[in-house]
Chains A and B, each alone.
Chain A
């Protein structure tokens, strides 16, 4: 079965601390990978994407993610978290077929302490 796993439902960090949000997927081939952020009452905003090439990708708002094929992971990182980063973060996968649909993880809620 295809699945996207975000093992951490809720993470709390202090402002200025580093952050890593985990994402694992279970597909045979390398899919296309995405991280989205959802602020309260808002839609989903694309943070970054991986299609191919360099396995470390840079996104908006100072976020980066690293694709590790051997671990089927695509973890999101930020070296120094700001209070405005508090939101829900979703990892999403496209299998690379012609269908174009995204499979989403259940999300990780990030709380930032001042």
Chain B
């Protein structure tokens, strides 16, 4: 158990819908990262937050957004969902803005039908 929690574990929805994925980092970690894992793209970095502020953006679509709240949990919002958004979404956390060690949550498997 890494100490990073993600909910829900599975999510099945339809095209055009909007979903929210939630992540709670390890106790004491200020930095949260979101990654997408798909068969065709592999593991891709989406976005990073540090202590409530966005710090880095990767291959994140405009339909996707994220935020980190004062209690340091983070949410990834995916809207206007397409079939190709079906993937495993991981959250990771680390102590500070430098990567050091990133601890990964168990992931949320999103299926868009």
Name A's B-contacting residues (CB within 8 A). 32, 34, 36, 41-46, 49, 90, 94, 98-107
**20 A-B pairs whose Cβ atoms sit less than 8 Å apart in the complex:** A32-B99, A36-B104, A43-B2, A43-B90, A43-B104, A43-B105, A45-B2, A45-B104, A46-B103, A90-B43, A94-B99, A98-B97, A100-B31, A100-B97, A101-B45, A101-B58, A102-B45, A102-B99, A105-B42, A106-B42
| Contact of B107 with A100 in the complex, beta carbons under 8 Å | no
| Contact of B55 with A99 in the complex, beta carbons under 8 Å | yes
Between B31, B97, B98, the greatest number of chain A beta carbons within 10 A of the residue's beta carbon is seen for: B98
| Chain A residues with CB under 8 A of B92 | 44
How long is the Cα–Cα vector from A99 to B47 in the complex, in angstroms? 10
**A-B contact count, CB below 8 Å?**
58
Q: Which residue in B31, B43, B101 is a CB contact (below 8 Å) of A104?
A: B43
Q: A45-B2, A98-B97, A104-B35 are in contact. List 10 more A-B contacts (CB 8 A).
A: A43-B104, A43-B105, A44-B90, A46-B102, A49-B101, A100-B48, A100-B98, A101-B56, A101-B99, A103-B45
| Contact of A100 with B56 in the complex, beta carbons under 8 Å | yes
Cβ of B52 under 8 Å from chain A: no
How long is the Cα–Cα vector from A45 to B107 in the complex, in angstroms? 12
| Chain A residues with CB under 8 A of B86 | none
| Chain A residues with CB under 8 A of B97 | 98, 100
